[in-house]
Amino acid sequence: IKVGSSPAWLVDRLEAVGSRSINNVVDATNFVLWELGHPTHAFDLAKLEGNSVVVRRARPGEVLVTLDGVERRLADSMTVIGDAMHAVAVAGVMGGRDSEVTDATTDVFLEVASFDPARTRATRRQLGLATDASYRFERGVDPEGAADALDRCARLIIATAGGSIAGAPLDLYPSPPASRIASLRAARVARVLGTTVPMDKAARILRSLGCAVKPAGNDTVEVTPPSWRTDLVDEIDLIEEVARLHGYAAIPAELRGGRPSAVPDDPQWLVSDRVRSELVAAGLLEVRPLPFVAGTDFGYVRVTNPLAENESFLRRDVLETLARRAEHNLSHMQGNIRIFEIGAAFAPRPDALPLEDLRVACLVMGDRDPAHFTAPKPFVIDEWDAKRIAEVILRAAAGGRPAEVRQAASGDADRLWDLVVAGETLGHVSRVALDAPVWAAPAFGIELSLGTVASEDVAAHGTHAHSAHDVTPPDRRFAPFRGLPVTPASEFDLALLVRDDQKAAEVEGVIRKAAGDLLESLTVFDSYTGKGVPAGYRSLAWRLVLRHPERTLRDKEIDGRRARILSTLATELDVRQRTA
């Protein structure tokens, strides 16, 4: 042959697909790659030592300079094409510089193969070298198409570089794989697609793709895919092709009844879903920051390959990353923050994987409500708002177990309350220190553990990771429908003297019981200690809204209801109305 420039038509065709022209021989191999989807490679025959070509594993420490001029050290897990002495190409990826076709080449050796996709992908990843050839071998080429690709390439080289074929092609294909046969059932097609496709039409569709189809009885056919369709393996693959060519527009779009799974949902997923729903309903926004922080080697888990050196540790608390998100918002002049995250916190363990604890955390600060003409200056979120959110979380996460918010037992001044579930302290409500501007409101955080994430080996065969009592059914609560009120409401305030050791929730429960079904809403709006309030007491004020669904309440009824509430409070809790 005579190596030189390619004809204009060949150059134009390659440029049209983004490939540059090199010479007429290499261009012929690239043209076949794009035309038939099968990579081919041309070696300079004079540069192959020993007049032989072998496909083998790379030798340990073997070095090859590839066509891009880079010296690459090969691993013994890689497949190479070699001559009698050394490797001349990385199989399925790129040829070597020592055997490339140049202007001085007069004889070429053409090689066409079908390399294993997984091995080609592993080699490409190890070398960090992606090529058009590796792209196709990784996804599978037609093993039956090698002979056609070889013949097409040889004819193109003769047409553009002259020469002739010396001898018959050598085909090393000792054991062709058995034909892949898959059954296609009409009932399965209808079940997957939600519509009936006549089996004769499904057979015509598959034959148009090159498949061999023969009846197998009972609305079933046996399908043998062509060698170039390596993706057609199981029945579901055939159904996908039937759906594609039958037309997605012909498949009904309405939802069909699904079959419930017999596998229970993970308990932690159920708890997380309930907590997430409650927090979203309370007006908080979920965020998903990365769990990396700037920690230290003491008490933190170091990441082996961190994304950034200034955040090379895993967080110990979810509030740690929420605080950074809050600071980011404050730097953009956004001071009203109501965010939460359900994520993992990590703690180091000797000679074991880190302890991974699933937690929910919230950070709130700024205005309690959006500005409105009825309240131009909204109240600022305080620790009592944080406590209310903590109660919402506890109600969703406890799953029927006893839970309460207790006064913090630790000496930490920023820790306000402990979150206790079944007698165990699992979280806290605290003030959060931020790098904040002077105009920023105080920040409050809530964090609660939802359980440890298992990091042990998977359950043994035939066993289950969770026992039956671990799976807590979701708390199904339905809000009853209530029409818009058509009668006026009546409201009044009660200021009560409550002992410091009494919980406001106990007082509120008695008020609700005594007020009866006329009570529409009950809100505590003031807490006061000082002049006029005896020592050991505090003044708490509630606003009550009463409404009858059918008529206007009379003053006598309202006064009677107020008197009943005060009498019940005095009898059951020794709580009196504040008069001074």
Tell me the β-bridge partners of 293. 313
- Would the CATH topology of 8-161 be identical to that of 182-250? no
C-alpha to C-alpha distance for 274 and 43, rounded to whole angstroms: 65
CATH topology for the 267-455 domain: BirA Bifunctional Protein; domain 2 (3.30.930)
- CATH class name, domain 182-250: alpha beta
Residue ranges of the chain with pLDDT lower than 70?
Answer: 174, 256-260, 463-478
pLDDT at residue 471 in the model: 45
C-alpha to C-alpha distance for 82 and 61, rounded to whole angstroms: 15
Exposure of 316 by Cβ count < 10 A (0-12 exposed, 13-18 middle, 19+ buried)? middle
Domain residue limits, the chain? 8-161, 182-250, 267-455, 490-577
Task: List the beta strands (DSSP E) in 232-379.
Answer: 285-286, 292-293, 301-302, 313-314, 337-347, 355-365
Task: List the beta strands (DSSP E) in 240-323.
Answer: 285-286, 292-293, 301-302, 313-314
CATH topology for the 8-161 domain: Phenylalanyl-tRNA Synthetase; Chain B, domain 3 (3.50.40)
C-alpha to C-alpha distance for 59 and 478, rounded to whole angstroms: 69
Total number of residues shown for the chain: 580
Q: Does the pTM of the predicted model rise above 0.95?
A: no
Tokens matching residue 232 = 């057609």
Please give the distance of CA 349 from its chain centroid, rounded to a whole number. 27
pLDDT at residue 189 in the model: 93
Q: Which amino acid appears at position 129 of this protein? A: L
| 30 Cβ contact list (under 8 Å, min separation 6) | 14, 19, 22, 132
Q: Which amino acid appears at position 495 of this protein? A: A
pLDDT at residue 410 in the model: 73
- CATH class name, domain 490-577: alpha beta
Contact 213, 206 (CB under 8 A): yes
Q: Which amino acid appears at position 314 of this protein? A: L
pLDDT at residue 154 in the model: 95
